[in-house]
Chain A
Amino acid sequence: ETGVTQSPTHLIKTRGQQVTLRCSSQSGHNTVSWYQQALGQGPQFIFQYYREEENGRGNFPPRFSGLQFPNYSSELNVNALELDDSALYLCASSLNRRMNTEAFFGQGTRLTVV
């Protein structure tokens, strides 16, 4: 077990709604990254938070936003949900922002937008 916890595990939302997903990072890790994994695909990088600031961002629109707290836990917020946002959202915790060490992943939140 990695020590990275995500909540909730499953969620069903209606198109146009907003959602907040949560992640607690592994002890001692100051970097959290979020990934979106559509069915049958590899995970895609959304963004990375390092010491409470967004440090890097993938090809996702601004309605995907996040926060990192002083204890390094993190939230992913998605506004104006679309059907294509249905996916497994994975949080990864790592020792540093350069991702040159192993990243530990949580079990993910499966979001379904109807």
Chain B
Amino acid sequence: AQKVTQAQTEISVVEKEDVTLDCVYETRDTTYYLFWYKQPPSGELVFLIRRNSFDEQNEISGRYSWNFQKSTSSFNFTITASQVVDSAVYFCALSAVTTNAGGTSYGKLTFGQGTILTVHP
């Protein structure tokens, strides 16, 4: 079974501050995928990044960066110089392949509880 834990329920920062959202995961699979999604008030989950379990290289995309550390089962997300538009709920998710009773494999996303980020002007 897979499990994703986001220990921070809510984070509040002032604009231009850097903020890091923590994510810790559990899985027995050797091949898995990690994701971060953003959920604005409109409700739609917006894809931010995908990482596979064999690629521990950190990634930077504009003001966003991700730190994947397999040794600690963590996949943390940092926003540099936060802006008011970054205010949203952020979800970390894990996908690993499961085989159903009929022998067919499928993947499903297991989400953390989410972190509510509020950026104040």
Contacts and interface: CB of A to CB of B under 8 A. Distances in A.
Given A55-B104, A101-B50, A45 B44 contact: no
Contact of B95 (A35, A58, A99): A99
Interface residues of A, number: 31
A56 interface: yes
Interface residues of B, number: 29
Query: For the complex, would chain B's binding face be called helix, strand, loop or mixed by DSSP majority?
Result: strand
A6 to B, nearest CB: 9
A67 B37 CA distance: 26
Contacts of B93: 42
Interface of B: 4, 33, 35, 37, 42-47, 50, 52, 91, 93, 95, 97-98, 100, 104-114
A33 B115 CA distance: 23
A22 interface: no
B43 A100 contact: no
B108 A58 contact: yes
